Homo-oligomer: A and B are copies of this chain.
Amino acid sequence: MKRRKKPEPACCPAPDDSPDLRPTEGPQADKELAKLSKALGHPARVQIVRLLLRRNSCVCGGIVDELSLAQSTVSQHLKVLKQAGLVRGEIDGPRVCYCIEPRALRRLRALVGSL
């Protein structure tokens, strides 16, 4: 029998309000923009980011239920997002709580806005 949904972890407080001092141009910024863009360059990953944003409570692997993809595939996409710095994962008992890294998102907006 499949047991589902203990209430939802509700981790990832994410305070954050420090300003971002990094430049939005130059070779370094180009590489950064490319890296962040590449991470968003797959529909499933965009979906994951949107999902994490929609639920203020950050979802663990309930993401799998939403994305008609295998659990291992979702895990890989999460890894890509994590390596790009867009997403953070915190261990919460047996599961892992994922959430958006707001700083990275702001950074992406700044970089895209500089175009």
> A105: nearest residue on chain B (CB-CB)?
B115
Classify chain A: how many residues form its interface, as a range: 20 to 34
Q: Which residues of B contact A46 (CB under 8 A)?
A: 30-31, 33-34, 37
Q: Nearest Cβ in chain B — how far from A4, in angstroms?
A: 25
Residue of A31, A38, A105, A112 with highest tally of chain B CB at under 10 A: A112
Which of B31, B41, B109 lies in contact with A113, CB distance below 8 A?
A: B109
**Copies of this chain per assembly:** 2
Q: Which residues of B contact A53 (CB under 8 A)?
A: 115
Whether A108 is near chain B, meaning CB under 8 Å from some CB there, is yes
Alpha-carbon distance between A44 and B53 when the two chains are bound, in angstroms:
30
Question: Other CB < 8 Å A-B pairs besides A30-B46, A34-B45, 9 of them?
Answer: A25-B50, A30-B47, A33-B46, A34-B41, A37-B37, A37-B39, A38-B41, A108-B112, A108-B115
